[in-house]
Amino acid sequence: MNQLDALKQHTTVVADTGDFKQMGSFRPQDATTNPSLILKAVQKADYAPLLAQTVAAHSGAALDELVDRLLVRFGCEILALVPGRVSTEVDARLSFDTDATVARAQRLIALYQAEGVAKERVLIKVAATWEGIQSAAALERQGIRTNLTLLFSFAQAVACGQARVQLISPFVGRIYDWYKKSAGAAWDEAAQSGVNDPGVRSVRGIFEYYKRFRIPTEVMGASFRNMGQIQALAGCDLLTISPELLAELAANNAPLPRVLDAAAARELPLEPVSYDEAGFRFALNEDAMATEKLAEGIRAFCADARKLDALIQSL
C-alpha cells in the first residue's frame, strides 16, 4: 500500500488545485480552489478555451459576475471528477464586508444550482477575518456550507467553532514559512520538522480542542510544503494537498500510521475558550505570525483577483 492509500484510511484526502485534469489518478474525495489556482489554470493552453467560452457565453455581464461564472465553471468540471465537495472562494476584496460576502456567496450557490449542482456539494470559502466568520455564520444558518480559509491562529479557529462553520483550513506551510523566516540563521530544520513543525503543532492544537469539546467543525490542514507535514497530520479530518505532493505520497510505499486521534483528544485536560469581537481582535493582534500572514494572504489573493479581472477584460 502506498502512502496516499494509507492516508485515505485515516483522513479524507482533498486535491488542492484548479487543474482538474490532474485529479483523476489520485481519486480525491473533495477538491479546493482559490483565486491563485484558478488564475494559474486559465493561463494554461488546456484551460484557455474554458475562459474564452465563459466570457463569450455571458458577454455584457458585469465583471464580477463573469468571474463568479468562471469559478463555477471550474467547480462543475471538478465535481464531475470527485464524489464529494468543491470549495469555491468569495472575492478576497470582500474580506472585511460581511453583507457583501453573504451576497456573493448566495450568487455562487445560485449559479451552481442553475447548473444542477446541489448546494451540499459546494463549500463557500471565506477569509477568516471577524467579518468573514460572521458572514459564514449567517450563511450556515441559510444552509450554505462554508470553508474558512487563511486561518493561522487558535483564536480564528475558536471563533469559527463558535460560529459552527462547516470546515476550517489552517495553513500549515505558511505558518512554517513565517517561523523559519523569523528564526533566520538560527532555524534548525531537523528540530522543527514532522510533529515539531510549527504549522503541524498549530493544526494539532486546533484538532485536539475541537475534538475535546465535540465541536463539529471539520479541520482540513492546508498549504503544505513537504511530505513530513502531511505525514505528521495523518488522522486529521481532511488534508488538502497539491498534485505534486499527492504524487509523492503515491510513489512512497513506507508505512504511514495515524498520528492524530480524536478519541484520545477527548480525554485531554483542556479549558474551553470563547471570544466576542473585541476579544477576538485582541487575541489575533497578540499573534504576530497570524496577523501578518492573514494580511499577506488577503493581499496576495486580491492581487491575483485583479490579474484575473484584467485577463477577462482583455478578451
List all residues 6 or more positions away from 276 whose beta carbon is below 8 Å from its beta carbon.
none
Count of residues in the chain? 315
For residues 147 and 160, give the distance between their C-alpha atoms in angstroms, rounded to a whole number.
Answer: 10
Paired sense of beta strands 167-170 and 238-241, if any: unpaired
Matching residue, cell 472585511: 96
Please report the DSSP string for 54-101 in residue order: HHHHTTTS-HHHHHHHHHHHHHHHHHTT-SS-EEEEPPGGGTT-HHHH
Q: Which residue in 88, 83, 109 sits closest to 12, CA to CA? A: 83
For residues 30 and 81, give the distance between their C-alpha atoms in angstroms, rounded to a whole number.
Answer: 9
The amino acid at residue 310 is A
Q: Which residues of 136-163 are buried (b: 16+ CB within 10 A; e: fewer)?
A: bbbbbeeebbbbbbbbbbbbbbbbbbbb
For residues 123 and 43, give the distance between their C-alpha atoms in angstroms, rounded to a whole number.
Answer: 25
| 86 DSSP β-pair partners | 31, 122
Cell numbers that stand for 142 in this block? 441559510
Active-site position among 8, 21, 119, 125: 125
Cβ contact 218:146 at 8 Å: no
- Has 125 been annotated as catalytic? yes
For residues 234 and 248, give the distance between their C-alpha atoms in angstroms, rounded to a whole number.
Answer: 15
Cell numbers that stand for 102 in this block? 453573504
For residues 198 and 191, give the distance between their C-alpha atoms in angstroms, rounded to a whole number.
Answer: 11
Among all residues, which ones are annotated catalytic? 125
